[in-house]
Amino acid sequence: MSEERLIGIVDDDASLRRSLGNLLGSTGFNVETFASAEAFLAADRAETMAALVLDVRMPGMSGVELLVELARRSSRLPVVVLTAHGDEDVRKQCFRAGALAFLTKPFQAKDLLDAIEQATRGD
């Protein structure tokens, strides 16, 4: 599996994980999905991925808490946040914690793909 094209998806919604995986897979990305922030951390895969797509509100550790933990670990993993709860405070918290992009659900596929392309280019 090519690490430069490997995208992680962390979302507690199985159907969204599946549809995001299909979308990203159809554009040439490899995808690994996780049902929770804890599962992502336990897999210890952050350093092998080109980018992460992350939900904010999940049972257990939130997406914002995962962003903070990744920063604490000095991770350089680019993160694109997806949320149905896109209030300004949450948006600011995500960017302060290191998110590269913040998209609200429902989102346009092109917007997500553009954010992933930007994340994997490393600009």
Q: Is residue 78 part of a domain?
A: yes
CATH of the domain at 45: 3.40.50.2300
For tokens 């149905």, the residue is 84
**What angle is formed at CA 26 by the lines to CA 20 and CA 27, rounded to 5 degrees?**
100
Q: Is residue 34 part of a domain?
A: yes
Whether the pLDDT of residue 87 is over 90: the answer is: no
User: Mind listing the pLDDT tens digit for each residue in 8-46?
Assistant: 999 999 999 999 999 999 999 999 999 999 999 999 999
Q: Is residue 115 part of a domain?
A: no
User: Mind listing the pLDDT tens digit for each residue in 36-77?
Assistant: 999 999 999 999 999 999 999 999 999 999 999 999 999 999
Q: What is the chain's Cα-based Rg?
A: 13
Number of domains in the chain: 1
Range of the domain at 94: 3-108
For tokens 């949320």, the residue is 83
Structure pTM? 0.92
